[in-house]
Each structure stands twice: as C-alpha cells, then as structure tokens.
C-alpha cells in the first residue's frame, strides 16, 4: 500500500516532478487524455487502412504496400484493442475522471497519489508494449481484440501469433494491473474524500458514473488478468487450459483436453462489463451537460443513479449473449437473453430522463450540448439494435455479420467518443483557461455526427443481407456484389469523417494557446469545479475546503438572483 | 474552515427539488479532517489506507475465484485419446506433498500471529507516544520484541517451504505441463506466493521507515494494512490448500 504519501504534498517545482512523474491528479488526468488522443488517431488510421482494403483489395499503398490477409487481421485486432483499452477505457475514466472527480467532490487530490502516478505509467508501458507488437517478427497478432483460443493460444497458429501475440497478452495484463490501481483510487476517493455536505446523493452524475465504472473495473479486470495468465501458460509452458486435442499442418500440437469455450467465458465475463466501463462515463457526462445547457435540473436524479447501478449489476450477468453460437444449451441462452433484454429497462429510464431534462428547457446549443444531444441520439440508435442481437433466434442470422459492428460501434464506440468530445469542449476552459473555437467545434460536430451515421447505418443493411465481418477479402464473392456500392459509400464516408477529426485536433491545440480567455464559470454551471480558479490551483481550491449546501443541478431556481445556485452557495441557509 | 460570506437575497430561492433535506449542510462527506499543514490527520490516513486495502483485496479475490472456476470446469472436460480414439478424461489428480504443505501452513499461521503482535505493539506505542514526550514521565523501558523481523523470517520460511514442495512435485514427475491437475497446483500455489511476496515487500518498507526515522504513525499505517493483508493471505492459502487437497 502506498498509504504514507498522502495528498498533503507541496506543489512540485522541477519539470520532471511537475509534468512527467507528477502526483497531481490533474496532470495525471491530462497525461491519460493525451495518451488516449494519440491512441485514437492510431486506431482511426488502422480502420482507414481496413476500409481501403475492403473496397480496393489489390491497392498498393505508399510505405505500407499491399495489405495481405494476415495484415488485415492484424489491423483488425489492433484497431479493436487500441480503441477499447487505450481510448474508451483510458480517456473517460483515466482522463476526465482523474482530473474532475476530486474537484467535483471537493477533495484536494486522489486518495493515493503515488498509486495514481503508478497507474498512469503502467498504462503507458502497456501502450508501448502493445504498439511494439507491430514491429516484431510476424507482426501484430491476428486473434481479434477478444483473443479467441485456440488461435490466440498457439505460437504456430499464424504469422502474428508468435512474439506479437505474447506482447499483446503482456500489454493487456499490464493494462489490467493499471486499471485495478486506478479503480482502487477512484472508489476510495469517492467514499472517503468528499467535502463537507457532499453526500453521495449530492454528487454530480459524472462522479456517480466514474464511481460505478471503477466498481465494474475492480470486479472485471482481475478476471481478464487470470484469463491472460492461463493463456500465457498455454502458449509458453505447454499447459492445456484452452487447447483441445488438435493438429497444425498434420502435426499434433501436444496439447489436449482444454476448452476454447473456457476462454470465451472468462473473457466475456470481463468483456461485457468492459463495454459499460466504456459507456457509463459518457452517460454521466451527457447527464451533466444536458442539465447544464437546458438550464433545468436533471430529470429524475435518483432514477439516474439507480439506473446506472442496475446497468452495472446486470452487466455482470449477460456475458453469455456473446456466445449464443458456441453450442450453448438453449435454456442457458434463454436466461442470458432475458437478462440482456432487461438491461433495456434502465437504459430506457436514462433515455427518458434525458429527454425529460430537455423538455421545456431553455436550451443553449453550445458545442458541448451538441455532443451531449448527439450522444443521446447515438445511444438510442445503437441501443435499439441491442434487443435484436439479444435474441438467440435472430442472433443465429446476424452473428458475425456487419450488423454486429454496426451495433457496437454506434452504442459503445462512437457514443462514448461523443461523451469524450462533449467533456472536452465542456471542461477545456477549466483545464486550460481558454475557450475552444465555437465555429470550428460546430463544424466538427456536424462532420462527426452525420459522418458516424453515414458509416454505421449502412452496415446494418450489409449485416441483414448476410455480409460476414472479419474477412479480409470478399470482393470476388458473387452474392455480395450488389452490396459493393454500399461498402464503397462507407469507405468514402469514413474518409470524410476522419478528415473532420483534424478540425478537432487543430481546434484543441490552437485554442490551448490562442483561444479566448475563459472566466471561472463560462457555462454558468453549478458544480464545484466551477467555483475554483481557472485552471485550478495545485490543491484544487486554493487552501480552503468547499462546503456543499445543494444538489448538483440547481438550475432555473425561482427567486434566485441568477437562474442557477452553485453547490457551495449558502444563500438559502441564511434565508431560512 | 470555509470562508463564505452569506448573501441574503431579496427573494428566497427554492432549491429543494430532488434534494429535500438540503438545509443545513448535511453530514456525509468525508470531511477530510485536514490539519493546518494541509496533511490529513493520522486517523484519517489510517482509515483511508484500511479502506483502500479492503478494496484492493477484491480483485485478488476475483483472480482466485476465476482460477477456481477454471479449475472446476477443466476437471469435467472430456478429450479424445488419439491412440485409442476413445473419449476419456485426462484429469489425473496430482499427489500433493501434504506433510510439507501442512508444515508450511503452520509456519504461515504462526507468522499471522506474529504480525498481529507487531501490529498491536505499534498501536500501543502510538498511543503512549504523547505521554512519553512529557518531560519527567517515564513508563519504564518496554521490551520491544522484533515481531516484524520474526514475521519476515517466517514469511521467507513459508516461501522456502513452498519452493521445496515444488521440488518435491518435480521429483515425483509432476511438472507444470504434466497434466491439467498439476498445472493448477503450480498456478494456484505460485499465484499465492507472488501475492505473499508483495506483503513481504510492504514489511520491508515498514522496516525502512525505522531506518529513515519516519514518524511512528506512518510506520503503524503500513504495518496495520500489511497485517490485514497477511491475514487475508493466510486465509487464501488455507482455501487453496483445501481446494487442491479435497477437490481433485
């Protein structure tokens, strides 16, 4: 335990202690954010290469050359892995959670700052190890982000399954350890470091989402770690946990008796909660933004909290819906199906409450709000295809077709990314002391929003028409010829959408130095981060501890001097 | 603490929606009990470290729960015998070095007692510290038995014992890849040993706080948390031993 070093540390002076090995949660948060930012551009670049290959399989690209089938599978694996772990898990929780959680609950830092620093640098190491898989003999692994055995469990199974796959597993194991350290910090901080008056039910919904995400991570990452250890043993020590009797090139592998399904169970016991780890912080941010920019209290605060809790709980009981096609007993499949569809209930409660928050509000369509509304839109569009896939009978048809990537990209991929964008535009003034350019932000929004639908809506049709996913080249398959225009359209849309992201990149760095100076509370929001200086001082509140008198979303308050009441505003106490 | 100047508005704002009991500030925050130096006080730090430990034990538990479920599943899996073309079960129980494991269990349980004594000794010392600092007050010289050192020695003894057990298994012809049962024996005992080494590391940190003349309180927090962790490791070992011994 790193208990003896607590947050009473003085502001560091040297560059190394201040910006590199910093104990300050704000610096660590930004480190996570920029790590995710590089990762998201790497991930997007990989997806672009895949899109090009799907439409022009013979094309020879500069530097990269022709994309071979195994290269395509490596791209697919690394795109998924980098996006899920190093973007969707890292940015919302590690980035914004680290930066904003202590400030929003009125704490001077995380509970264990040294552990927090270790957590980031372990993530960084994991990221380097993951990227290094591209550059070893055989290249990156082929087994997809889900690492299905036996492909992932045999060194000789394919070009990338040698050292590349070992590096992949080691990177994931390091990431597990880092996430566990982070989760430990988030939970302790939330439970033990809230300012006076900040009861659990007065926390902003963002804090609730980070707290619940941390609990999910705490329970899920240990299981992935265990699966990774078993996989490494199968690969390197000759054990047979996941490997049945089998041959490669006519030779017996020497393994027998293991079960690839055991890997699937362990992986998806982690994997399903993981998708909520990605999306829950987005839900928290969307709630925060919708309330702030509608100038209305969030509709049904308690319902929102309980909905998130039940989504988290149900998330641990539905992993079997990823395995309907694995020969599972129909009775088991039925149980998993019912549990999965039950998640629709808290999800619908959340959507209803978001719409209820918007209803009758004096909506200000600033750029963060656009992305929050975009989040709700994508969450609904992606969510509606969930109950389709949750039914074993329909899943038999749709499994391993483009319908599945369409579903999960909309709901956990791009929706979560919209949460990150919304959070960036919303908190940028607090983090860097300047506003982001609003017109560039709007351009970025419309590019991303329309582009996302243009990419992923047609994929539903591809899936329903029976176009399988994961294959490197299907251009010669006759029954898929009529679908080729749709595939081409998706690739063009991907080009345009990704180009749109450069607007964001430019806006981010340009505004850091040239943006309009931001006031302490530019959005007229109520939570604690807007009560302190911009950017916040080293101890967050400049030597005093805030005292909280109100819930987080007191907007449109009758009789108040402004239309909002800050959480720290004691006015009503004096008047009572 | 807070330096707010209440401003009374002309009209009384009504803010109670969704937060009915909002007046006055309700307790429930951590409060954080920071002293003037900005450091949280000793009790807060101890409570926070214990809370952190309790949370940290959860993923360790999940790790071994996951290993256990794999253990149970793997036991029941059939496989094809390539020589006879018959479906068989390849799970052959590993003969454990039970006597050695029992001795190791005894060593670990005894170390759990010594670390508890170390923990209580430090509680007493921290409690008596303010009294002893009064000039002229003497409580007599308390014999400071090095319970911490004894624990480290016993911990090393346990790890050595485990290493001997692995040697014994290897001598009987059971290696990691010999069969699924032996794989799990090495996996579970090895996983436990790695976690125990983490505890040893924490004890060494507690030892260095003596050398570095860190405050007694800091040392107590480290020892306290490590003691709870150590007890957990002892319980985990008994669970693993029982699982390997009785569920093969």
- Express each pLDDT in B110-123 by its tens digit: 999 999 999 999 88
Task: Map residue B103 onto helix, strand or coil.
Answer: helix
Q: Which domains does chain B have, with CATH numbers?
A: 42-246 (1.20.120.80)
Of all residues in chain A, the one with the smallest CA distance to B42 is: A4
- Express each pLDDT in A66-79 by its tens digit: 999 999 999 999 99
Q: How far is A49 from chain B (nearest CA, A)?
A: 37
- Express each pLDDT in A151-174 by its tens digit: 999 999 999 999 999 999 999 999
φ/ψ of B79, rounded to 5, equals -145, 160
Selected residue of A153, A181, A186, A188 to mutate for chain B interface (largest B Cβ count, 10 A): A188
Can you give the pLDDT at residue B39? 64
CB-nearest to A570 from B6, B18, B183 is B6
Of all residues in chain B, the one with the smallest CA distance to A199 is: B28
Task: Map residue B88 onto helix, strand or coil.
Answer: strand
- 8 Å CB contact of B13 and A558: yes
- Express each pLDDT in A352-402 by its tens digit: 999 999 999 999 999 999 999 999 999 999 999 999 999 999 999 999 999
Decide if pLDDT at A575 tops 70: no
CB-nearest to B29 from A194, A223, A575 is A194
Decide if pLDDT at B31 tops 80: no
Can you give the pLDDT at residue A98? 97
pTM, entire model: 0.93
Burial class of residue A271, CB neighbours in 10 A (0-12, 13-18, 19+): buried
Q: Which residues of B touch A229 (CB under 8 A)?
A: 187, 191
Token couple for A141 = 């692994």
**Distances from the Cα of A515 to the Cα of A436, A512, A518, A519, A531, angstroms:** 6, 6, 8, 12, 21
Question: Concatenated DSSP letters for A49-99?
Answer: HHHHHHH-TT-EETTTEE--HHHHHHHHHHHHHIIIIIIIIIIIIIIIIHH
Average pLDDT along chain A: 94
Q: Which residues of B touch A226 (CB under 8 A)?
A: 62-63, 66-67, 70
Q: Which residues of B touch A323 (CB under 8 A)?
A: none
Can you give the pLDDT at residue A483? 95
CA–CA distance, A358 with A336 (Å, rounded to integer): 34
CA–CA distance, A156 with A162 (Å, rounded to integer): 7
The answer for residues whose C-beta is within 8 angstroms of residue A185's C-beta and 6 or more apart is A110, A111, A112, A115, A116, A119
- What is the arithmetic mean of pLDDT over A83-104? 97
Q: Which residues of B touch A253 (CB under 8 A)?
A: none
Burial class of residue A226, CB neighbours in 10 A (0-12, 13-18, 19+): buried
Name A478's bridge partners: none
The answer for residues whose C-beta is within 8 angstroms of residue A202's C-beta and 6 or more apart is A548, A550, A551, A552, A567, B19
- 8 Å CB contact of A3 and B58: no
Decide if pLDDT at B16 tops 60: no
- What is the arithmetic mean of pLDDT over A294-314? 96
Q: Which of A410, A415, A438 is nearest to A426 (CA)?
A: A438
CA–CA distance, B11 with A565 (Å, rounded to integer): 13
Q: Which residues of A touch B208 (CB under 8 A)?
A: none
Task: Map residue B89 onto helix, strand or coil.
Answer: strand
- 8 Å CB contact of B52 and A244: no
Q: Which of B104, B87, B244, B85 is nearest to B180 (CA)?
A: B244
pLDDT top residue among A527 and B134 = A527
Selected residue of B20, B25, B67 to mutate for chain A interface (largest A Cβ count, 10 A): B25
Decide if pLDDT at A285 tops 50: yes
- 8 Å CB contact of B209 and A549: no
Angle between helices A113-132 and A163-192 (to 10 degrees): 160
Can you give the pLDDT at residue B230? 97
Can you give the pLDDT at residue B248? 81
Token couple for A46 = 């990989």
Decide if pLDDT at B17 tops 70: no
CB-nearest to B12 from A188, A548, A559 is A559
Can you give the pLDDT at residue B41? 81
Confidence bin at B1 (pLDDT 50/70/90): very low
Q: Is A251 an 8 Å CB contact of chain B? A: no
Selected residue of B2, B24, B75, B215 to mutate for chain A interface (largest A Cβ count, 10 A): B2
CA–CA distance, A237 with A576 (Å, rounded to integer): 71
Q: Is A1 an 8 Å CB contact of chain B? A: yes
Selected residue of B22, B29, B85, B184 to mutate for chain A interface (largest A Cβ count, 10 A): B29
Decide if pLDDT at A65 tops 80: yes
Can you give the pLDDT at residue B32? 46
- What is the arithmetic mean of pLDDT over A11-28? 88
Reduce the secondary structure of A149-169 to three states and give it as a string. CCHHHCHHHCHHHCHHHHHHH
Name B78's bridge partners: B89
- 8 Å CB contact of A219 and B62: yes
Chain A / chain B CB contacts < 8 angstroms: 255
Of all residues in chain B, the one with the smallest CA distance to A550 is: B22
Give kind and range of the element (H or E) at residue B30.
none
Question: Concatenated DSSP letters for A218-261?
Answer: HHHHHHHHHHHHHHHHHHHS---SS--S-EETTEE-S--S--HH
Token couple for A72 = 């395509």
Q: Which residues of A touch B209 (CB under 8 A)?
A: 4
**Interface subset of A 135-194, CB within 8 angstroms of B:** 180, 183-184, 187-188, 191-194
Decide if pLDDT at B85 tops 70: yes
**Interface subset of A 397-456, CB within 8 angstroms of B:** none
| pLDDT > 70 fraction of chain A, expressed in percent and rounded | 97
Q: Which residues of B touch A258 (CB under 8 A)?
A: 74, 77, 180
CA–CA distance, B222 with B126 (Å, rounded to integer): 13
Confidence bin at B130 (pLDDT 50/70/90): confident
Of all residues in chain B, the one with the smallest CA distance to A264 is: B70
- A197-201, B191-195, B233-237: least confidently modelled range: A197-201
Angle at B208 between CA B206 and CA B210, to 5 degrees: 85
Q: Which residues of B touch A264 (CB under 8 A)?
A: none
Token couple for A267 = 């992986």
- Left if phi > 0, otherwise alpha if psi is -120 to 50, otherwise beta: which for A144? left
Of all residues in chain A, the one with the smallest CA distance to B225 is: A1
Can you give the pLDDT at residue B212? 74
Q: How far is A424 from chain B (nearest CA, A)?
A: 28
B24: preceding bond cis by omega (within 30 degrees): yes
Q: Which residues of B touch A567 (CB under 8 A)?
A: none
Give kind and range of the element (H or E) at residue A65.
strand A65-66
- Express each pLDDT in A316-354 by its tens digit: 999 999 999 999 999 999 999 999 999 999 999 999 999
CA–CA distance, A526 with A257 (Å, rounded to integer): 60
- 8 Å CB contact of A544 and B34: no
Q: Which residues of A touch B177 (CB under 8 A)?
A: 237-240
- 8 Å CB contact of A262 and B80: no
Name A252's bridge partners: A247
**Interface subset of A 208-247, CB within 8 angstroms of B:** 218-219, 221-223, 225-227, 229-230, 233, 237-241, 244-245
Q: Are A356 and A300 in contact (CB under 8 A)?
A: yes
* CATH classification number, A24-243+256-575, choose in 1.10.3720.10, 3.40.50.1440, 3.40.640.10, 1.20.210.10: 1.20.210.10
Of all residues in chain A, the one with the smallest CA distance to B219 is: A4
- What is the arithmetic mean of pLDDT over B221-232? 95
- 8 Å CB contact of B22 and A198: no
Q: Which residue carries 């948390």 as its tokens?
A: B225
Confidence bin at B18 (pLDDT 50/70/90): very low
CB-nearest to B177 from A3, A6, A237 is A237
CA–CA distance, A284 with A189 (Å, rounded to integer): 18
CB-nearest to B11 from A180, A559, A570 is A559
Question: Concatenated DSSP letters for B198-209?
Answer: HHHHHHHHHHHH
Parse chain A into domains and list their residue ranges.
Answer: 24-243+256-575
CB-nearest to B18 from A222, A301, A544 is A301
Token couple for A569 = 């505003």
Q: How far is B67 from chain A (nearest CA, A)?
A: 7
Can you give the pLDDT at residue A18? 85
Selected residue of A2, A6, A327, A353 to mutate for chain B interface (largest B Cβ count, 10 A): A6
């Amino acid at each position: 335990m790193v208990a003896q070093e607590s947050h009473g540390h003085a502001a560091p002076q040297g560059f190394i202690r201040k910006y590199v090995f910093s104990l300050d949660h704000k610096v660590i948060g930004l480190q996570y954010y920029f790590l995710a930012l590089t990762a998201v551009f790497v991930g997007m670049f990989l997806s672009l290469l895949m899109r090009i290959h799907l439409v022009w399989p013979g094309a020879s690209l500069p530097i990269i050359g022709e994309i071979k089938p195994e290269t395509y599978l490596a791209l697919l694996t690394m795109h998924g892995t980098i996006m899920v772990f190093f973007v969707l898990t890292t940015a919302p929780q590690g980035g914004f959670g680290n930066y904003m959680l202590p400030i929003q609950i009125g704490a001077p830092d995380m509970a264990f700052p040294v552990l927090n620093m270790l957590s980031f640098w372990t993530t960084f190491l994991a990221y380097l190890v993951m990227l290094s898989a591209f550059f070893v003999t055989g290249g990156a692994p082929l087994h997809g982000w889900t690492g299905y055995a036996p492909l992932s469990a045999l060194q000789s199974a394919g070009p990338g399954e040698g050292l590349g796959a070992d590096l992949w597993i080691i990177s994931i194991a390091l990431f597990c350890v880092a996430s566990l350290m982070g989760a430990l910090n988030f939970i302790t901080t939330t439970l033990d470091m809230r300012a006076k008056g900040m009861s659990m039910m007065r926390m902003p919904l963002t804090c609730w989402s980070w707290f619940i995400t941390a609990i999910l991570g705490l329970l899920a990452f240990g299981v992935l770690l265990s699966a990774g250890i078993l996989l490494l043993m199968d690969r390197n020590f000759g054990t047979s946990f996941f490997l049945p009797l089998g041959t490669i090139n006519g030779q017996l592998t020497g393994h027998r008796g293991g079960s690839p399904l055991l890997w699937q169970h362990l992986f998806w016991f982690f994997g399903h909660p993981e998708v909520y780890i990605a999306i829950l912080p987005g839900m928290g941010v969307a709630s925060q933004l919708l309330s702030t920019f509608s100038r209305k209290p969030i509709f049904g605060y308690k319902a929102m909290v309980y909905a998130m809790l039940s989504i988290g709980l149900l998330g641990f009981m539905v992993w079997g819906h990823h395995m309907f096609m694995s020969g599972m007993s129909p009775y088991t499949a039925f149980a998993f199906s019912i549990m999965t569809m039950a998640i629709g209930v808290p999800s619908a409660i959340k959507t209803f409450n978001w719409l209820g928050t918007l209803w009758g509000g004096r909506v200000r369509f600033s750029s963060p709000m656009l992305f929050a509304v975009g989040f709700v839109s994508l969450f609904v569009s992606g969510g509606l295809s969930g109950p389709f896939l949750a039914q074993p009978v329909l899943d038999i048809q749709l499994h391993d077709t483009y319908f599945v990537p369409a579903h999960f990209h909309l709901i956990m991929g791009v929706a979560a990314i919209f949460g990150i964008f919304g959070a960036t535009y919303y908190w940028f003034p607090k983090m860097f002391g300047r506003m982001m350019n609003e017109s560039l932000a709007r351009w970025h929004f419309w590019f991303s929003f329309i582009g996302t639908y243009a990419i992923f809506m047609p994929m539903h049709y591809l899936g329903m028409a029976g176009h399988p996913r994961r294959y490197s080249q299907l251009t010669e398959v006759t029954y898929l010829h009529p679908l080729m225009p749709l595939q081409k359209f998706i690739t063009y849309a991907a080009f345009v959408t990704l180009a749109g992201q450069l607007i964001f990149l430019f806006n981010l760095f340009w505004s850091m130095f040239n943006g309009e100076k931001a006031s302490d509370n530019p959005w007229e929001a109520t939570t604690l981060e807007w009560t302190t200086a911009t950017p916040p001082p080293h101890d967050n509140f400049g030597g005093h501890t805030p005292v909280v008198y109100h819930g987080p979303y007191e907007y449109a308050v009758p009789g108040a001097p402004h239309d909002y009441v800050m959480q720290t505003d004691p006015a009503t106490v004096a008047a009572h | 603490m807070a330096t707010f100047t209440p401003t009374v508005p002309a009209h009384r704002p009504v803010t109670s929606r969704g937060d009915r009991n909002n007046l006055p500030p309700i307790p429930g925050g951590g409060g954080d009990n920071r002293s003037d130096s900005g450091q949280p006080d000793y009790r807060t730090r101890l409570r926070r470290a214990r809370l952190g430990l309790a949370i940290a034990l959860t993923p360790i538990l999940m790790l071994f729960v996951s290993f256990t479920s794999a253990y149970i599943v793997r036991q029941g899996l059939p496989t094809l015998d390539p020589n006879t073309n018959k479906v068989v079960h390849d799970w052959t129980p590993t003969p454990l070095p039970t006597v050695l494991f029992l001795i190791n269990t005894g060593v670990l349980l005894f170390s759990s007692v010594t670390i508890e004594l170390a923990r209580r000794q430090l509680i007493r010392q921290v409690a008596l510290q303010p009294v002893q600092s009064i000039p002229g007050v003497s409580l007599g010289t308390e014999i400071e038995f090095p319970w911490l050192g004894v624990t480290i020695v016993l911990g090393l003894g346990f790890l050595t014992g485990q290493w001997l057990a692995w040697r014994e298994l290897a001598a009987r012809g059971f290696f990691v890849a010999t069969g699924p049962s032996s794989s799990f024996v090495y996996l579970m005992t090895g996983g436990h040993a790695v976690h125990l080494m983490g505890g040893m590391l924490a004890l060494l940190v507690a030892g260095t706080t003596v050398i570095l003349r860190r405050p007694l309180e800091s040392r107590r927090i480290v020892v306290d948390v490590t003691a709870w962790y150590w007890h957990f490791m002892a319980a985990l070992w008994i669970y693993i031993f029982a699982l390997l011994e009785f569920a093969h």
